[in-house]
Amino acid sequence: MRDWNYRDKACIVGVGSTDYGVFPETDAVGLGVSALKAAVDDAGITFDDIDGVILNRLPYDRFAEVSNLNTPYLQSTPAHGRFSAIALMMAAEAIASGAATTIALVYGNDGRSNAMKYGGDPNFWAPWGFTSPGASHAMMFRRHMEQFGTTSEDLAHIAVSFREHALKNPAAVMKKPITIEDHQKSRFICDPLHLLDYCLINDGGVAWIMTTPEKAKDMKKKPVFVSGFARQDDFSQNSLPPNDYWYPALQKVESQVYDRAGLTRNDIDGLMIYDNFSPTVLFALEGMGFCKQGEGGQFVRDGMLELGKGRWPTNTSGGHLSESYMQGWALIVEGVRQLRGEVPPDRQIKDCKALQFILATAVAGSIIIRNDA
Amino acid sequence: MTYLKPLPEADKWSGPFFEGAREGKLLAQRCNTSGRFFFPPSPVSPVTRDGNWSWVELSGKGKIGSYVVMHQKYFPGFGDEVPYPVIEVELEEGVRLLSSIVELGDRELSVGMPVEVVFDKVTDEVTLPKFRPAA
């Protein structure tokens, strides 16, 4: 196999986000451009410094027209959240190869204003009443419960931990504390998953600016280096709830991502886990080897994912469950702000030098970012 | 009475599956080269990536691999039935299907429960394979 040669070849130098909520006065493109403007300011550059664009969930032609940003490098990615990781990897590869120097990565979502529903659309299983990504995760989680003895209450610990973080994040949509009992008493959407196992659909925009380490030296803030990343797709069970929790694909990623970054799990100070539904947090932790397969439920109990308590504080912004479902994009923003030491002291991970983004999806992926390269 | 639930949108690949159900047969595609079954219906075998496959009748026997209970109202026609279960069936031949459980009686739904196919004629044109606990 050829050497992987992208370690620390690209940096995140600017991040920006809009508020998250209901904004019918604008649209996804408007939100994306607003976030990009904030990211450009954050990096201390101008729009003229950007020579590449990678979009997620946005129409590329309309975006270019509205933003008046016309570059020699443009990529457009589908609406699935897995493309947050893919976009970041693509940008690092493009920057390292010289295809572009300074790339704007932009996400915009007006799903809440447009009453976006995940479920109820025609699909092969609709005649039997099956629909929605949540139901697919519920099916996977029931299997996990049976196979390993995991419980709904284990998931409650995840929801409570992320809510505790959200309370320290003014940008988070959720403002009230919850208890394990609140989680257990919240209504079922798809048993075994409760309302509080689901992410929060909102309008919002998020943007990142990435560039070379050389260019990064001239920018306003200290760079965050993209140290290592790995990805393994598994769409072999795309039409059914997978029966393996993407574990083999995640294990493959684990076998590569730390070596590529030149770090070990012990160097990781905190995690950003793609939490579209709370069970994916367990699948990610198990697949990435933070605990043995089947032990995720025990692992997340008693504040293990919480700031000031656990070894690996996770989703310190509140994540998709309690900040907002910005499909991975806002998790990276939080990671960058943590590594810069920009978050309020009560939310700051101590001595934060390296963080890891993990996705347990049909695109199993992980990205390690750090501030001390 | 009007049937309000979603009906299959059979296409040229899934058409024979639903045609089979009308005739009381549970069908799936089998790769002629490798012998492996695959589902949902597809243009080529995932093993050989070619069209050398056949429709084969399955035994209709299997076990419940997982299940959920839908509480949210997503579809017209299912609104009055929430909460209702959807089961994932692992058939003997290795095919997995999502389906409905019928004739459960006072038994409790459980992973591992043996099930067998039954055919529910829901309209004049459409029959859906469903599953009941096996004796």
Tens-place pLDDT, residues A282-316: 999 999 999 999 999 999 997 889 999 999 999 99
Composition of chain A by helix, strand, coil, percent to 5? 40, 20, 45
Across chain B, mean pLDDT equals: 96
- The domain total for chain A is 1
Asked whether residue A159 is domain-assigned, the answer is no
Is residue A132 left, alpha or beta, with left meaning phi > 0 and alpha meaning psi from -120 to 50? left
pLDDT at A302: 74
Percent of chain B with pLDDT over 90: 95
| Catalytic annotation present for A107 | no
What's the CA gap between A33 and A351, in Å, rounded?
33
Tens of pLDDT along B15-66? 999 999 999 999 999 999 999 999 999 999 999 999 999 999 999 999 999 9
Q: pLDDT tens, A141-189?
A: 999 999 999 999 999 999 999 999 999 999 999 999 999 999 999 999 9
Average pLDDT across chain A, whole number: 96
Residue A77, beta-bridge partner list = A56
Residue A266 domain-assigned?
yes
**Known active-site residue A258:** no
Distance CA(B76)–CA(B61), nearest Å, equals: 30
Q: Are B111 and A140 in contact (CB < 8 Å)?
A: no
pLDDT score of A335 more than 70: yes
How many interface pairs between A and B have CB atoms less than 8 angstroms apart?
94
Helix-helix angle A279-287:A152-166, to 10 degrees = 100
Q: Is residue A226 part of a domain?
A: yes
Is residue A1 predicted with pLDDT exceeding 70?
A: no
Is A162 within a domain? no
CA-only gyration radius of chain B, Å: 16
Which structural domain range is residue A96 located in?
Answer: 10-114+200-370
CB contact under 8 A, B68 and A125: no
Given a cut of 90, whether residue A116 has pLDDT beyond it is no
User: Does residue A350 fall inside a structural domain?
Assistant: yes
- pLDDT above 70 coverage of chain A, percent: 99
Q: Helix, strand or coil for residue A162?
A: helix
A95 part of a folded domain:
yes
**B39: chain A residues, CB-CB within 8 Å:** 239
- Find the closest chain A residue to B111 by CA distance: A146
The number of residues making up chain B comes to 135
The strand ranges marked E within chain A are 10-17, 52-56, 74-77, 103-109, 188-191, 193-194, 204-211, 224-233, 270-273, 354-359, 363-370
pLDDT given for residue A373 in this prediction? 55
CATH of residue A249's domain is: 3.40.47.10
CA dist B62 and B60 (Å) reads 7
Interface confidence: ipTM more than 0.95: yes
